[in-house]
Amino acid sequence: MQIVNVKDTGLINVERMLKKPAFDQVELNPKIREANKKLFGRDMTAAEIVDMIVNEVRAEGDKAVIKYTKLIDRTEFTADEFLVTEGEYEAAYEAADPEIVESLKRAAANVRQYHQEQKPNSWMTYRGQGSLLGQSVIPLDRVGIYVPGGTAAYPSSVIMNAVPAAVAGVGEIIMMVPPKDGKINPYVLVAAKEAGVSKIFKIGGAQAIAAMAFGTETIPRVDKITGPGNIFVTLAKKAVYGHCDIDMLAGPSEILIVADETADPAYTAADMLSQAEHDMLASSIVITDSKTLAEKVAAEAEKQLQQLPRQEIARASLDKNGLIIVAEDIMQAIELANVSAPEHMEILTKEPFQLLPYVRHAGAVFLGAYSPEPLGDYFAGPNHVLPTGGTARYYSVLNVETFMKRTSLISYTQPELNRVSDDIIRLAEAEGLQAHANAIRIRKIEK
């Protein structure tokens, strides 16, 4: 893992190091590329693979979903086997550790309470001469949530996507999960039941996104797709946007820690590794004004790395995307953190709240030594579906309003319309839209 000093490297060069490539610029691992070549018969980019799958699912529905589930996930289903059955739910509860189930329930309760406090209200207000203006906030009819499978199971992602949708009042929540050996992790199924998911389909990848966006003979079309996934899922969400809405275009996991000399090196290293173990593309960065802390964190990370079951993944992540930057002072550290616009930002300083007003770009901010990133991932209540790849500059965290839409309400009385009619007629005629002007003029009462 590299340690970089701003004084030696130069501020512009350090800022360049912190700016991440766009999600669609990420190159496939050579092993994955070779595996895809064997699957599809030729060397293809991720975008080419996704376009092929999305177009085929759109045209052929269940047939294409069956084809790609067999080809990619090595699971052979008929269309009537996509849907998770009540028997599978029951088996999941029987297989699950009761203590873990109770922890999932408590986590869901915390997430539910936090998101209930976010829920916006419809409103209406009076204007002149009895006229009314307002806004109606309406939940979406049906949403689809994607939960990754891959190298790990993510019941926490089920809770973070489904609970806000349920709180928003969404009519039907569809969930897609890639099967492993034809099955879904029992804790993912338990979390879905507790969170209010309506239906679960054992389908993953780009074919799952396309199926939700366009609908098939078996899978209903949704209004919006949310949830994280790999590069193929993300590119598929981009491809179907406009046919339905999406939450965001997410990339690999990230953590950036702003720390001063008071930070505990063991805590700091542990928090870096909490993201590095996600996948080889994950990014773990520390920015500190203490060279001594930087050296201690690097040593501590190496020490803790030896104990991790996912050591190979975490090491590859730190080698490629791990970085410790020594800034000239703590305010420069915060400015560099804003340049990165990380998914997760931890502030491990003596007075973390004093720096909070200067944080402009972050998906979530964790303040103080006892608010580590996994607290937000699993239990505290705020959502863990966050913008990545620098998109915290303009994307927001997944929230209740993600699953709602706003409709404007307008009701004028005749006297009030009469009062403003000349202004509207002038503006309509200035744009050359005579029929617009006529729709007002025909209602106007001349004095």
Active site residues: 343-344
| 8 A C-beta contact, residue 6 and residue 325 | yes
> DSSP string covering 26-50, please?
PPPPHHHHHHHHHHHSS---HHHHH
Angle, alpha carbons 371-374-375 (nearest 5°): 50
Q: Name the DSSP letter for residue 289.
A: S
The stretches of 241-382 forming alpha helices (DSSP H) are 265-276, 291-305, 311-321, 330-340, 352-355, 373-378
Amino acid sitting at position 78: T
- The CA distance from 222 to 245, in Å, is 9
Sign, CA dihedral 187-191-194-199, equals negative
Closest CA to 194 of 80, 97, 267, 105: 105
| 8 A C-beta contact, residue 183 and residue 24 | no
- The CA distance from 227 to 247, in Å, is 7
Any residues with CB less than 8 A from the CB of 411 and at least 6 apart, and which?
A: 131, 132, 133
Residue 142 is inside which H or E element, if any? strand 142-146
DSSP, collapsed to helix, strand or coil, labels residue 133 as strand
Write out the two tokens for 119: 């829920």
| 8 A C-beta contact, residue 315 and residue 305 | yes
Rounded alpha-carbon distances, angstroms, from residue 254 to 20, 265, 344, 447:
11, 19, 6, 66
| 8 A C-beta contact, residue 58 and residue 210 | yes
Residue 406 is inside which H or E element, if any? strand 404-411
Rounded alpha-carbon distances, angstroms, from residue 424 to 76, 132, 298:
62, 18, 66
| 8 A C-beta contact, residue 393 and residue 256 | no
Beta-bridged to residue 136, according to DSSP, are 407
Write out the two tokens for 176: 């897609």
The stretches of 310-368 forming alpha helices (DSSP H) are 311-321, 330-340, 352-355
